[in-house]
């Protein structure tokens, strides 16, 4: 292709794009609701969600209550979903479920609503308000659609979110230990063990509680040392009750040896 032909081809492409863009902008400014509906539908089917959305936002209020509203409202919610605006996707899918309880798209809308809230769940170190909401929505979907093909997927998401909450609580207990607030660390481990009986972090929590109790005893004023060493020894017994064959047994036994040695020293010093 010589330069003249190439320049002509580029000019034609630019002309087509400019014309298309101009027609789109013109349609956005027009009052032709039917044309906007058709264009939004075409853009949606072509996966051009960013361009479809402004048209949808203009016509959704107009079509409310009309036969075209049901498919339009589903596409509207799904557009937010595909654009990864999960806050609005979850909200719009919830509105769809409430407005069209007999829709053929009801189950899919309910699933995508629940999944949107799952996507909003932040990393474990941040506030977990959205995680609790996501768990509620996912459980609600499973309860309403017990035979759904999405049930397994929802259960997987629920488990992932629960592990995230477990990790947050576990890391909180560890953080207290790192900043030398051993009493708070023990309390946080106590709460963790009570609140998360099947956690993957449970063995570490039992060991962490033992370690925090021992270090607390070491850093106590003299008249509290013996009492707190005995308390730490009870935590060792709790650890061994459940994890006598666990990978941290050796470390736990090293702590017990130190506990017993210090208790013997305490006994000798008082006699």
Cα–Cα distance, 87 to 124 (Å, whole number)? 19
Q: How far apart are CA 218 and CA 207, in angstroms?
A: 17
Cβ–Cβ under 8 Å, residues 120 and 86? yes
The pLDDT-based confidence of 16 (bands split at 50, 70, 90) is very low
Alpha-carbon gap, residue 102 to 104, rounded angstroms: 7
User: Where do the domains of the chain lie, and which CATH numbers do they carry?
Assistant: 166-271 (1.25.40.10)
Q: What is the pLDDT of residues 171-205, one digit of tens each?
A: 999 999 999 999 999 999 999 999 999 999 999 99
pLDDT of 63-84, one tens digit each?
988 989 999 999 999 999 999 9
Please check whether residue 89 is in contact with residue 54, taking contact to mean a CB–CB distance below 8 angstroms.
no
Q: Is the pTM of this model over 0.75?
A: yes
> Whole-angstrom Cα distance, residue 185 to residue 193?
12
Q: What is the pLDDT of residues 109-154, one digit of tens each?
A: 999 999 999 999 999 999 999 999 999 999 999 999 999 999 999 9
**What number of CA atoms fall less than 13 Å from residue 181's CA on the CB side?**
11
Cβ neighbours, 10 Å, residue 13: 10
């Amino acid at each position: 292709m010589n330069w003249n032909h190439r320049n002509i081809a580029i000019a034609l492409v630019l002309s087509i794009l400019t014309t298309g863009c101009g027609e789109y902008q013109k349609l956005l400014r027009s009052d032709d609701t039917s044309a906007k509906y058709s264009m939004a539908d075409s853009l949606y089917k072509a996966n051009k969600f960013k361009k479809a959305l402004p048209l949808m936002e203009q016509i959704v209020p107009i079509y409310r209550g009309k036969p075209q509203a049901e498919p339009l409202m589903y596409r509207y919610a799904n557009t937010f979903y595909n654009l990864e605006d999960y806050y609005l996707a979850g909200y719009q899918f919830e509105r769809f479920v409430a407005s069209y309880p007999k829709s053929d798209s009801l189950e899919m809308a309910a699933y995508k609503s629940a999944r949107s809230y799952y996507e909003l769940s932040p990393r474990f170190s941040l506030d977990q308000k959205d995680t609790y909401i996501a768990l509620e929505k996912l459980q609600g979907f499973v309860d309403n659609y017990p035979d759904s093909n999405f049930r397994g997927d929802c259960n997987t998401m629920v488990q992932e979110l629960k592990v995230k909450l477990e990790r947050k609580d576990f890391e909180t207990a560890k953080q207290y230990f790192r900043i030398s607030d051993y009493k708070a660390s023990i309390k946080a481990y106590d709460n963790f063990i009570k609140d998360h009986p099947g956690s993957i972090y449970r063995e570490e929590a039992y060991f962490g509680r033992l370690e925090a109790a021992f270090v607390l005893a070491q850093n106590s004023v003299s008249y509290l040392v013996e009492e707190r060493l005995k308390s730490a020894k009870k935590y060792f017994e709790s650890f061994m009750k459940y994890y006598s064959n666990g990978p941290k047994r050796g470390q736990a036994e090293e702590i017990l040896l130190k506990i017993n040695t210090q208790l013997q020293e305490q006994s000798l010093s008082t006699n």
